[in-house]
Every structure is written in structure tokens, then in C-alpha cells.
Amino acid sequence: MALPNRNAIWRVLVTGGAGFIGSNLVRRIETEWPNAVVTVIDDFRSGDFRNLEGFRGDLIAQDVAQADLSGYFKPREFDAIFHLASITDTRESDQRKMCWDNIEGFRSVLEYAQASRTPVTYASSAATYGIDGKVNIETDPRKPANVYGFSKVQLENLAQRLMDRPENAGWAVNAVRYFNVYGPHEQHKGPMASMVYQLYLQMKAGKRPRVFKHGEQKRDFVHVDDAVQCTLLAMHSGKPGVFNTGSGAAQTFNDVISELNKALGTSLLPEYIENPYAFFQPFTQADLARSRAELGYDPKFPLAAGVARYVEWLKQTGR
């Protein structure tokens, strides 16, 4: 399925549209498709009104897990649904809360979309892989180490069960498994913002950046612009299933500090501290073979370029 023509009237629903990735997606759609009609659902528990500055669509301030979508919208009101609403605090230990919000919110979206087979692209996570310590391909076993990752596995299971029903043949529901996304409009997340941003704040204040010994843990850091691009490509592929969404390259925290020093014009050395977390991931990296082959996904921002772009935005906005 090709991307719609720039002048097309594209009717889009984005849940979680005031959040980090959601707001970047909304901004991208309204910029590239001036005639797009975008509706955002967000209850602002993990979003921020400033992320929707300049938004010209309709905002519904609701918890998607409790909203009667069929009461708000007609069956064929949208051409595409992006479901990004979620509890994203991976430290949340209330299993009932995490599972209720994430799973039942997605169920509500699917029940509404199923009537008209509206395509749905939803946010999953590399947390579904657990603590593997290897390059992950979409067919790897899912071994979540926390309830957040567990809830995302249940989203994938729910989507797959629906896809397996004969009456749903041809209905495109797919997931983007986000790795470590960083970039503009994550600032409201506080302690749950990316390590790129956390280290930036320390270094901007003239402090030595603090990381766990000895800064050689690796992550697949992916700039939010690349994450949004993969999300759009997944929607317009018309292909069901899951797609890794990363940079395809693992970088150390020491690498991040080095790039931040370059972007900030500083020479701050890291301060290494003990790691108190038994479930801390030593390594994450997305295998992008499927995303490249089936979606045409080609990330544009390796760590050096992504950090430089991000720091420039932070400076311009005074963050």
C-alpha cells in the first residue's frame, strides 16, 4: 500500500497523540499531508499539551481503555488508526494497572476497527524480547522481564488471534517493536525519558555524566524521526505482523557521552556507578532485515547524526 498523495484527505486516528512518539507522528502527518484530518485521543497521564502545539485536528481527552469509540465515531470514519496510547513507565509494578490500561485499551481499538477493517498500526516494544543479550529478530521467543513487556506480548497475541479468524482475512493489523527511542518532545517523561536526554541534562549543567560501570552496556538507540518513519511505512505496507523499529546498530553509553561532548563542546568524563538492577539489559539491537525488505525502512540517523540533531533542537528550544 503506497503512502497517500500529499494532497489527499487522509482521515487518521492517533491514540496517545500527546505523548512522545505519538506527537511526533501527529506533527509529521499534519506537515506532510496538509489536508489530513487527524483526531487524537489522549488522557494526558503520560502526555503533555505542549507536544501538540500547532495541532489543528480534534482532541478527545479520554482514556482509550474506557472510551466508547463506536459512540464517538462512525464505523468508517478513519482511513488509518495508529494506537500508541500506553503506560510507558517500565518501572510500574502494579500489574493490574499496567495490564488493564495497555491490553484493554488495545482491545477497545480493535473492536472498533474490526467492523470496517480499518488498518491499525500499534506500538509494541523490544521489551517483549526480555534480557536476551543478542541481536533480535521478530521470530525470536518473547521473554519479557517486566510487566510492561508482558503487556506488549499480550497486545501482539490479541492481534494475532484476530488475524487468524477467517472473517478478518485482508485486515491489516501490525506492530512496530520500538527499541530505545530518543528525540524531541520526550522532555515531559521526566525519569522515563531516554538516557540520551538524561545524560544531556547532566552534561548541560556541567556535571559528569553518571552511568553504570563501566559504560559498555549497549543499546539500539533510534531517533524518533526514524521511529515515526517506520510506523508510517508499517501502516502503508498493508502487511500484518510485527516489525523491529531501531537503528540496527548497538552503541555503548560511553558512545552516547562521546557524541554529547561533541555536540555540546564539552569534555566531561563519565562517572561510573554500581548497577542496582538485576534485570538491566546488557545489550539490545534490532535485526532490521524484515523491516527493510517488507517496509522499505532505512533509518537515516546513526547515533552521531541523531544526537547532533537532537542537541541542536534542545538548544533552539531552550530545553
Give the pLDDT confidence of 256-272 residue by residue, as tens digits: 999 999 999 999 999 99
> What secondary structure does DSSP assign to 154-213, as a single string?
HHHHHHHHHHTSGGGTT--EEEEEE-EEE-TT-GGGGGGS-HHHHHHHHHHTTPPPEEET
pLDDT at 133: 86
CATH number, domain 11-182+224-247+286-300: 3.40.50.720
Catalytic-labelled residue, pool 189, 204, 239, 262 = 189
Active site residue 213: no
DSSP 5: P
297 tagged catalytic: no
User: Given this model, what pLDDT does residue 66 score?
Assistant: 93
Report the pLDDT value the prediction gives residue 4, as an integer from 0 to 100.
80
> Which positions of the chain have pLDDT values less than 70?
1-2, 279
Catalytic residue among 148, 178, 200, 310: 148
pLDDT the model gives residue 132: 85
The pLDDT tens digits of the residues spanning 76-122 come to 999 999 999 999 888 888 899 999 999 999 999 999 999 999 999 99
